[in-house]
Amino acid sequence: MTSVAEPFDAVDVIMAKRDGHVLSDAQIDWVIDAYTRGVVAEEQMSALLMAIFIRGLNRDELNRWTDAMIASGERLSFSDLPRPTADKHSTGGVGDKITLPLSPLVASFGVAVPQLSGRGLGHTGGTLDKLESIPGWRAALSLDEMRAQLANVGAVVCQAGSGLAPADRKLYALRDVTGTVASIPLIASSIMSKKIAEGTSALVLDVKCGSGAFMTDVDEARELASVMVGIGTDHGVRTVALITDMSTPLGLTAGNALEVREALEVLAGGGPPDVVDLTLGLAREMLDAAASVVQAQGVPGAGISAGSPEAYRMAGKLKEADLGAALADGRAMDTWRRMIRAQGGDPDASLPWAKCTQEVICPADGYLTSLDALKVGVAAWRLGAGRAVRTDSVQAGAGVVLHAKPGEMVRKGHPLMTLHTDTPEAFPRALEALEGAWTIGETRPETGNVIVEKVA
């Protein structure tokens, strides 16, 4: 049997990028497809990733690279839904439970939120891990189940199917072991290929910066946000980004069931101010983006055409939505309960608690001036809330509860935080991770907003 000749040689593509040349559309299409098929070897793609890490990709190359990753699998479409769609993606952090109150809040205003989420790895938590602490809730849905839930409930949070951007799954694992993770073009194309393949019309990006985020520097976060917004816009997806602070844990909890409880506080009209502020800020951007899409494209599934009076009326209602009222009057909570029940969960069931707790005692009087998100995240991970490798299991009740945030007065001898775990032998390593995690001063520090800036 005669093998089909490949149109390119991997070595030539590697050398072209190594020497600073612009890759052609055909070269990019081929190398992604050939790597997915197993024709391009792991060591060859490793070399190409390193060449891209050093030389970068220009905007045209990056768009084509993203296109090729999307084309490696299936692409969903929700254009026939009777609702406009909007999605959110966070680059990850400590205590980031925002998807939980955000999705039902936005859905309560008639926008479909197809939130395909992942699991935690290392110090960053995973949305699916958090929701799986709810008895009966399941992450795996068929496409038909997902579409029905979006039409009937408006919000779905579930795991992505294996058919979406399979090239990215291979590349993601390879980047992890070749020192090429911290490349803005590779990060941006990885995130955006999956989000575009998910089929949403509007996308809001939550790009974290600070010690607990992948991007610790605000300038790097701004560059990543700008590149991702460009990719989304070039692919016809209404895309905006918020750069948000992750120097301190978000809210007062880091851990799966602990964060679900805090999300429920927000849905009940309470909750920590930073969690509420970010939830409302992202929801506002999602509704505004959805409104722009409605005006420009209509809602075909509802028989609303672009530019029609019905489209402008719907867009106007989205832009004028009173988000705070939807939390206060229970509308968002009602949508949450329907969302959880639709995926087999019991919204009235008790959430699990860890078997063991240990308090971390404040060593002095004063103001808490800093609290390092990364150190708290590592402590929660070591307590069992996270995983070191993707096959590890997690403890639903493990994590850290904070009793103060920067700017607040603390007292010597009072608890500064409480550690939760089912495995008390984990306490020493968690405490080790927290060494130097906080500072206490005599004067109240200035604290900034959780939302740093917008990139559009």
Residues 331/268, Cβ–Cβ less than 8 Å: no
Q: Which of 119, 170, 175, 208 is catalytic?
A: 175
89 is an active site residue: yes
Residues 273/449, Cβ–Cβ less than 8 Å: no
197 residue type, one letter: A
Q: Which of 67, 96, 168, 288 is catalytic?
A: 168
Residues 294/238, Cβ–Cβ less than 8 Å: no
Burial class (CB in 10 A: 0-12, 13-18, 19+), 413: exposed
- The backbone torsions φ and ψ at residue 129, rounded to the nearest 5 degrees and listed phi first, read -60, -40
Write the CA distances from 6 to 10, 38, 61, 71, integer angstroms: 10, 12, 21, 18
Rg of the chain over all Cα atoms, to the nearest angstrom: 23
168 is an active site residue: yes
Instruction: Quickly list DSSP for 356-412.
Output: EEEEEE--SSEEEEEE-HHHHHHHHIIIIIS-SSTT----TT-EEEES--TTSEE-T
Residues 154/326, Cβ–Cβ less than 8 Å: no
Widest pairwise Cα distance in the chain: 80
194 is an active site residue: yes
Q: Which of 89, 123, 130, 238 is catalytic?
A: 89
301 residue type, one letter: G
CA angle 298, 301, 306 (to 5 degrees): 15
Q: Which of 190, 193, 201, 247 is catalytic?
A: 190
261 is an active site residue: no
Alpha-carbon gap, residue 202 to 194, rounded angstroms: 14
Residues 262/279, Cβ–Cβ less than 8 Å: no
User: How close are the terminal C-alpha atoms of the chain, in Å?
Assistant: 53
Q: Which of 169, 194, 337, 382 is catalytic?
A: 194
Kindly list the catalytic residues: 89, 168, 175, 190, 194
